[in-house]
Amino acid sequence: MKIAIAVAFLLILASLGSALVYLMRDKGQSNRTVTALAIRVGLSILLFLSLLLAHRLGLIESTGIRI
């Protein structure tokens, strides 16, 4: 599960980086920046929902806040 979460974070960061590159290169002339950001939002929502499902199925446990 830890590997899947790490891969999801890397994909989210890659999508964010590609949006920045498209923003700098295209200078607002294409929709590639919007598409890359939409993919990032979709991946973030998918990660959140998969974490909720994994917690519900008992694949991961919450540890609470430890001080």
CA atoms within 13 A on the CB side of 23: 11
- Identity of the amino acid at 15: S
Q: What is the DSSP letter of 66?
A: -
Q: What is the mean pLDDT of residues 43-62?
A: 91
Alpha-carbon distance of 58 to 20, in angstroms, equals: 37
pLDDT band at 37 (very low <50, low <70, confident <90, very high): very high
What pLDDT is stored for residue 59 in this prediction? 87
What pLDDT is stored for residue 65 in this prediction? 72
Question: Would you call 58 exposed, middle or buried from its count of C-beta atoms within 10 A (0-12, 13-18, 19+)?
Answer: exposed
